[in-house]
Amino acid sequence: QVQLEQSGAEVKKPGASVKVSCTASGYSFSGFYIHWLRQAPGQGLEWVGWINPKSGGTNYTQNFQGRVTMTRDRSITTAYLELNWLQSDDTAVYYCARETRRQESCSDTSCPLYTWLDSWGQGSLVTVAS
Amino acid sequence: DIQMTQSPSSLSASVGDRVTFTCRASQSISTFLNWYQQTPGKAPKVLIYAASFLQSGVPSRFSGSGSGTDFSLTISSLQPEDFAVYYCQHSYNSSSIFGQGTKLQI
């Protein structure tokens, strides 16, 4: 079955960096984008970005531009999220999730491609405190 | 960026009730809308994709509808395990934004 296993909790000081891993199993790693999201304590879900494991291409939300790097190692089916210049408001549970796609038939004007996050890691708590 | 607004922010209901949550997009997103359920301490789980398609393994008491800017998620008969937080998410372009969530409580 599809599984995403994330690395353990981390405690970091302000200004430091953190690297969270997400190891995939049970499916073809290169065939599905991996998204990263985070959830601050008691708050909602915030999307960080995605990586295409096949090409290494990435897309980051503007809020994290310049501070975030997503990478992958296909040989060990693992994706990574690295976040730099940590501040206290980066304290959150970080999730990886697999994107599944469904291509619909083309109409006169469009060829809809539906995507959703069908499998999630268990989450990695990152705490930033001095 | 497309913004997603959910209402209400919280909702009280009882086992057996029929409940409906709503989600509004700041611009038309066709049917590029997904719904997720999150229970405390757990990762979210997808319920509905493409506005109205039931994810495999999700009970049929869950249903979704809508297109354009207005969407809804309905639970036809609440079960004890349904008390959770529900999020909508758009997948209209290469980015992805979630609504702020609706907490369903007893």
- For A57-78, write each residue's pLDDT tens digit: 999 999 888 999 999 999 999 9
Q: Is the peptide bond before B8 cis (omega within 30 degrees of 0)?
A: yes
Average pLDDT, chain A: 95
Report CA torsion sign: B21, B27, B33, B36.
negative
**Tens-place pLDDT, residues B65-106:** 999 999 999 999 999 999 999 999 999 887 889 999 999 998
Distance, in angstroms, between B78 CA and closest chain A CA? 23
Looking at residue B76, its pLDDT comes to 96
* Contact criterion met (CB < 8 Å) for B46 and A116: yes
**Tens-place pLDDT, residues B9-67:** 999 999 999 999 999 999 999 999 999 999 999 999 999 999 999 999 999 999 999 99
Which residues 6+ apart lie within 8 Å of A4 measured at CB? A22, A23, A24, A34, A96, A97, A98, A119, A120, A121, A122
Which residues 6+ apart lie within 8 Å of B89 measured at CB? A45, A116, A117, B4, B33, B34, B35, B36, B96, B97, B98, B99
Chain B residues within 8 A of A36 when measuring between CB atoms: none
Identify the residue among A117, A118, A124, A125 best suited for mutation to test binding to B, counting B beta carbons within 10 A and taking the highest. Answer: A117
d(CA B102, CA B84): 8
d(CA A19, CA A69): 9
Q: Show which residues on chain B lie within 8 Å of chain A, measured between beta carbons.
A: 1, 30-32, 34, 36, 38, 43-46, 49-50, 55, 87, 89, 91, 94-101
d(CA A47, CA B95): 8
Looking at residue A122, its pLDDT comes to 98
Looking at residue B53, its pLDDT comes to 96
Residue A111 confidence class, pLDDT cut points 50, 70, 90: confident
Identify the residue among B96, B97, B100, B103 best suited for mutation to test binding to A, counting A beta carbons within 10 A and taking the highest. Answer: B96
In the block, tokens 């601050």 appear at A40
